[in-house]
Structure 1
Amino acid sequence: MSEYITHAFPPIYDTESRILILGTMPSPKSRENGFYYGHPRNRFWKVLSEILSQPLPGTNEAKICFLRENHIALWDVLASCEIHRADDSSIRNPVPNDLTPILAAAPIRTIFTTGTKAAALYKRYCYPKTLLPATQLPSTSPANCALSYEQLRSAYAVVEEALRLSAWNPYFPRG
């Protein structure tokens, strides 16, 4: 049975953010833990910390510091929707988040989505307003057992590359 969920987490960003990573909607476990990618078996934080050669952040506060230190903005495509547990394929009546505040405050150069549904929702609801294409990354959810950890790590290497390129690109101010 589906329930109507309203997103409860604020976006994480600052004026130094260079990339934006968008999921779909926090899972029940993430909502219970009060932060993004909060399921203990979700591989998001482990993959990011490895590709950026950083220690794995353990607390929500450490995760916020990790994101800011690495110039990563984090939010979700949806502000609310009907969803059955964490099943993105069950999403109905989606209401997108307004990405304008992030894009106005930070020199976002690259947008990534985590998973097929986040990519499709971004393309349908956000792209017409932002006109910024998004690169789809695979889901780090424990439900995505089709990809090994090494395959996920390899796919997410583009995040490190985007951050590295944005640091020296003379066409964009460093902020």
Structure 2
Amino acid sequence: MHNASLNNTLNRSVCLTQIKKLIIDKSHLNCDQIIEILNLVSNCNTLILHTILFDKHDSMSLKQNENSQLISNTNNMKNITIKHKCSLRKVKLLINLCSQLEHLTMEISYQSLISTVRFLLRKKKNINTIRPLFSLYFLKIGIIGTEQLKTLIESEKLLDDYKIKRIHDNCYLWW
């Protein structure tokens, strides 16, 4: 779907500034579509996505895209869920676009878990640029992922005061 047609379709259906929660079951959204959606629903505070398509050109275009900077400063996104495997690159995209993010839920591979948590917590601790973020919920990481998370946080002293709770195969981390 092209950005213009997405904008026209949504504008005819509903007043976009009134949307507070948006669930998109489309299995493949690229960066440009995510940026356009965030631009259209600036008052939305919860976004649930199946996955994000990301290619090597997206990070360069994101840095050069003035619209992405504007969106980061104006959107009110506080809760994001990515239901399918997320990577560090996708998390960086979301952090760059959603400066008010408080809760991030995602399915993540063991390979990406450590680097992603390290990135988020170091960024929070050292730069304080993602100040509002205070909880992460990992889907399907099991006991091993939960233990890896505890070890990382304690060995690198990424958080002083935090809680980790495992619920079935999921792990909830908040501080």
- Range class of TM-score, shorter chain: under 0.3
In our comparison, the structure showing a higher alpha carbon Rg is 2
Tell me the TM-score normalised to structure 2 length. 0.28
**Relative contact order (C-alpha < 8 Å, sep 6+): which is higher?**
1
Tell me the TM-score normalised to structure 1 length. 0.28
